Amino acid sequence: MRTKNAKILFIILGLSASAWAGWEGYRFVARSLGRSAQTTSKRRIAVMGFTSETGGKSRASAIVTERLTSEISATPGLEVVERGRLDEVLKEQKLGARGVLDPVTAKKIGNILGADAVVTGTVIELNNTDVEINARLVDTQDAHILKAVTKTVKKDWEEKTSGWSDFNFDMNIDLDAPIALLPAGFMDEEVCRKLEENEAALVRSCVELRARKIAYELKTGALKLSQLKKNPGSEINNADLKRQFYLKMKEWYYSSELRPLTSQEEDLVERISPQIEKYPCR
């Protein structure tokens, strides 16, 4: 019985030690920033949302922000501004949370919330298991960086599977808008040598293949939002073709028959791509 209890105790202690070790990186960052805040008499701290290396939000940056907020809140002598109140002020003042504070923004946060300093920074996903935290303690009076800390921590969470609404693509077209009236002769043969119907049909088929390819990569996680520099389909100039691309991409994303392109389909899309951008012209 004693042996069994000893084994259980060993397992519990092992799990506790593992969990503590996982949080040690956050504690290191919080302690470093906390000591600097205390030595510079900064008692009331606002923790802004960290951003990814591209300047946007990510699951990693959200998790790091929450964990650092918890650790800094536990620092004796420091008072952390309630997160909801901070977000409310940022929204009301249209300040945003960009990870970099200019003097005007820093001072506004200080005046409105009574914060002496702001913690902000970036989170860089180094690989599948490690993320790098770059945190800064910024004086709200002049945006002077009081302390900067860099620490690598283990990524102990799983990536969330995105739903279509998470992608928030800006199609940049009005699906309900009437077709614009163009001057007579605007699209004559000298300006645009139109594709034959069979050629145009091939282009439309390739657009659907491209839509299926992007939908598959998004659904499987092969293509991540952080990797996107611009919207898929932004290179399509024709409004009708762009409409088809986005509608087909969404349709494929939810389809149970979603599958990757074959090598022949990949080759076809690559060969027809120049025509997709020029459509309906040659």
Q: Which helix (H) or strand (E) holds 79?
A: strand 79-80
Neighbouring C-alpha atoms within 13 Å toward the C-beta of 180:
9
Q: What is the four-CA torsion angle of 136, 140, 141, 142, rounded to 10 degrees?
A: 40
Query: Cα dist. 84→9, 31, 67, 81 in Å?
Result: 40, 23, 15, 9
Give the residue-averaged pLDDT of 247-255.
85
pLDDT bin (cut points 50, 70, 90) of residue 143 is confident
Contact assessment for residue 276 and residue 207, using Cβ atoms and an 8 Å cutoff: yes
- CB burial of 84-115 (b: ≥16 within 10 Å; e: otherwise) equals eebeebbeeeebebebebeeebbbbbbebbeb
d(CA 17, CA 206): 55
**Distance (Å, whole) CA 265 – CA 15:** 50
pLDDT at 180 over 50: no
For residues 92 and 275, which has the higher predicted lDDT (pLDDT)? Answer: 275
Q: How confident is the model at residue 53 (pLDDT cuts 50, 70, 90)?
A: confident
**Could you give the residue range(s) of every CATH 3.40.50.10610 domain in the chain?**
41-154
Q: How confident is the model at residue 228 (pLDDT cuts 50, 70, 90)?
A: low
Tell me the helices (H) and strands (E) count for the chain, helix number first.
Answer: 8, 6
Please report which confidence band the pLDDT of residue 15 belongs to, taking 50, 70 and 90 as the band edges. Answer: very low
- Could you give the angle at the alpha carbon of 140 between the alpha carbons of 137 and 142, nearest 5°? 100
pLDDT at 189 over 50: no
Secondary structure class of 263 (helix, strand, coil): helix
Q: What is the mean pLDDT of the chain?
A: 76
More confident residue, 15 or 27: 27
In this prediction, residue 19 carries a pLDDT of 41
CATH number listed for the domain at residues 41-154? 3.40.50.10610
Q: What is the mean pLDDT of residues 194-222?
A: 85
Mapped onto helix, strand or coil, the DSSP state of residue 134 is strand
Entry pTM: 0.51
Strand partners, 160: none
